[in-house]
Structure 1
């Protein structure tokens, strides 16, 4: 497959006619993007460049990719990075058991007399190719490719990914070149557990995501949890904001704020008082040390 990556028009992204329109589309599916996020995502779409999103855990990096796929009506393909990930896990593998069965079937059909060259050629076809996320993204485009937590991978995988993103193509020795007809919209995320190399960052647009302000977090809570009262949403947002200012092992993200509000609603609590907070802290804090530290300072937490 071949594709021209110089044209910046793409009918699949018509809802994103401007950063403001894109923000409106994302808001419609529950993702409240501020001006910076909306502009960065819009430019990634228009310029067909990967968007590198960095920030603390829980700031909405992964959710942005999910929301873009939903808002633009594109499939989402996710590659979760981890220590030791390699090209075989991310790109493709050959289905060895099926290839072996195929050889046996050929041998039986030919009475034990196989033409070696013909048999070998029949093994390396699309029928036996197991596409992993990166290959699926090249063959399924247009799509959104989420490369999640790239900072967990090693330098070698980074270099491999850089080459693939630069060409939007990959060469499989036994099969040939696979090239995206339309480059995928690529979102890379990093929690900054280590520095990602400049070479990869230069290939991308960059955006640092902060935790939302209290006002924006209230809006997120009320958007995602329509039944939540204004008072409770405000109290949860303000308490979460104070938690992030404490020296915790894992400060809460937006997902934890939503879980806390859901827990309080499930207990039919209309406001966040000391008793309700003490009973539900496990929805927002995930380490016993953090729980102990916050329980000792509940008065500070609740203002």
Structure 2
């Protein structure tokens, strides 16, 4: 994804690293989204060369940003990706046990612990070093089918679809590798994904990151950079997350939502009258919906779909 001819200086302030990570992620997301759009246009033209193209009605200045782990998908994407690589003998049993411990911590704590997440990413970087980006992308497609597809929260997916149906763009925003996030976004029919950018030279991973993991403030920087490049009005955008670590991202937009929130985010959201939804239990949410900019019809359809899918799941 991010092919750099030079190494990124190691000593940078935390803010500078967040900005660098966010800008790199936004650029990678836009590049991937453009490639996908061009490919889709070519495919559509080949299928129906005489068909007329009609513009999609919607708010061109609004978009929705969804955190991935425990918001859109149960568990951590990086762990599931690690399981798939282990199955393909990319690393040894001892390293799988390490991934398993990190996933167990994530599921028990229900929050993103920076130290454990950093440990998981360091493990992943050492594993993919020297491998080609194209190879990992191809494997990632199979891993999604094997481990991730069945772990998508139906309710959150329905909310994302409601934004799409309203003519809005929808992006995943995650600390997972941008390649993995892009695969998930494409499989869910979303616009694209912002994720952690691993440095590559000549299409081969170097084992280093561009900036830092897309976590906490870096996510906000990525959303801000993408919004500026895409001409979005953040006051008309929505963001969804389960973690208090994403408060910087949620605070950027005019319509923040807490999905499957940890205790800190739940408290923070209630204090500010943010909408909440919890798909982990049968508890009713304080509020649920999508921004008024998306339209009343989409709101009703999205909420109904979320309830129906949630009941079917449980």
TM range (shorter): under 0.3
Structure 1 length normalisation: TM-score?
0.25
Structure 2 length normalisation: TM-score?
0.25
Structure whose alpha-carbon radius of gyration is higher? 1
Higher relative contact order (CA 8 A, sep 6+): 2
